[in-house]
Amino acid sequence: MKYDLGSIGIHMNLQYECITTTINSKKEKNSAPFAFIYLGGDKVMCRIFEGSKSLMNIQEQKQYVVNITQDPMIFTLSTIDILPDEYYTDDDDIAILKDSGAYLIIDVDEIEMKTPEDFPIKNDTNIYFITGTIKDFIIRDESIKAFNRGFSGLIESLVNCSRYKIVDGAKRKYYKNRLEENRRVIEKVSDDKTKKAMEILTEEYERN
């Protein structure tokens, strides 16, 4: 089946920051942010480092839910693992956030372990590539869009550019390093338009 994830701002092979909710056999629910990639058709993927509770629940249940939200509290409380129970729907066999603008229920097809040599981000930790199939796609809020952090990086670099022009020494170096980091992220997660905008901005930094 083909899904139109474009309506929630999700385009193929780009990376979006979403909230993944899972449940374990003891009916304990869990929530954490992970990057979500739409592969086209009804196929999706995410990558999760070893040691995550979400990973254990996904390995056990072979299912997870991707919640589309831009709520700062949900992102924060989920990251530090203190999201209260009242954020979830009353379902006792699946973990879904009550207030997400949209959500996708994913059935896991394959979980493949990659060693640090295959995927060198954290030196000594394995990462699991999880591919899955969209089982259900629910939109609650027609205006919801998934969050792409490339755009934040571009905006930060634009703000920094005006400062870069009027400072020197360590501050100038700091803004240049931030530009490099944001360029790296944009190359990884952004669409062509954001990449092009970053190219133009980089030339502007180089002129100053």
Ligand X SMILES: Cc1cc2nc3c(=O)[nH]c(=O)nc-3n(C[C@H](O)[C@H](O)[C@H](O)COP(=O)(O)O)c2cc1C
Q: Where along the sequence are the contacts to ligand X (CB under 6 A)?
A: 17, 30, 32-35, 47-49, 52-54, 79, 81
**126 vs 133 by CB, closer to ligand X:** 126
**22 vs 205 by CB, closer to ligand X:** 22
Closest distance between ligand X and the C-beta of residue 122, in Å?
9
Closest distance between ligand X and the C-beta of residue 74, in Å?
11
**13 vs 79 by CB, closer to ligand X:** 79
Q: How many helices (H) and strands (E) does the chain have?
A: 5, 6
Residue 51 has a CB neighbour count (10 Å cut-off) of 10
Closest distance between ligand X and the C-beta of residue 153, in Å?
13
Closest distance between ligand X and the C-beta of residue 97, in Å?
14
What residue ranges in 41-81 does DSSP mark as E strands?
43-49, 63-68
Q: Is 31 exposed, middle or buried (0-12, 13-18, 19+ CB in 10 A)?
A: buried
**151 vs 161 by CB, closer to ligand X:** 151
Q: Annotate 133-142 with b (16+ C-beta within 10 A) or e (fewer).
A: ebeebeeeee
